[in-house]
A and B are shown apart, each in its own frame.
Chain A
């Protein structure tokens, strides 16, 4: 007997993600899902951001990691709240993991929650975790054809941070080419060339965070 079903296979993840989104909206917290390949500099960008914006914003981090708590310790060293999710080899975070993890955070008065996903440009794109926006990080050491190779990730991201621009003199990375391809996939994507190490370009990224937070609060 053939039974028509037509159910989204990831509906359970999508349902919890939608619940989380409502929950965060009620608290006025801007939630960003930070994704990249391993080593693009997500944690370094977070360390800088948490340190530089600490005087004006309350921020916390959910750290996804395959095995270790190295990143959570680095983030916690800035003074921000951090909670670790070990995926035990899993290649992406799920909404239920985030739902569980935020129980150990004090969310009162929080402005921004960063969710640092597992380093991977494919799998995390399929799993919403309650975020307002996805942010993809790409380092100039990786190759400017990444948007072409991983179209979905760039198509669904609201912002693209091109990190490690201090290395541009030493690598064959064409900023314009990468930005152009990202725009082909997503015309509205905001592109931020930065160096989390030298701090170049970070002000534009910080302004984007402030604007997105203000917009979220204004629409509440």
Chain B
């Protein structure tokens, strides 16, 4: 089993985005852009997900939700912030209810800029996330093996 490459599953959560990036994330999965050709599958269950795509900034209400989703995901995991709001807070940075980008509460690995992020940019982010995920998986396997032997 260890020789088989894993197909990372993607979980998408809408932080406090305006929907623009969300529908572009969904558009990436449809036949025109077809992000599924990289072996990824969109899932709704955090416990089966390897890559978290987060759109929109963090506000006081969804702070706990995002943190909980991240904690529920099994290791190793990769987080992609899609859109400028998830990167820094974007146009809503000065709003009273926005704490900032997704990296305020969870560690973000890949930042995809754009308002709304274009599908090409999102696919690029996903591909980088898949590469990063494979590297982390190797590390994780080595760690598990070492633990077993010890």
A, B bound: no
User: Which of B's residues lie within 8 Å of A, judged by CB?
Assistant: none
User: Which of A's residues lie within 8 Å of B, judged by CB?
Assistant: none
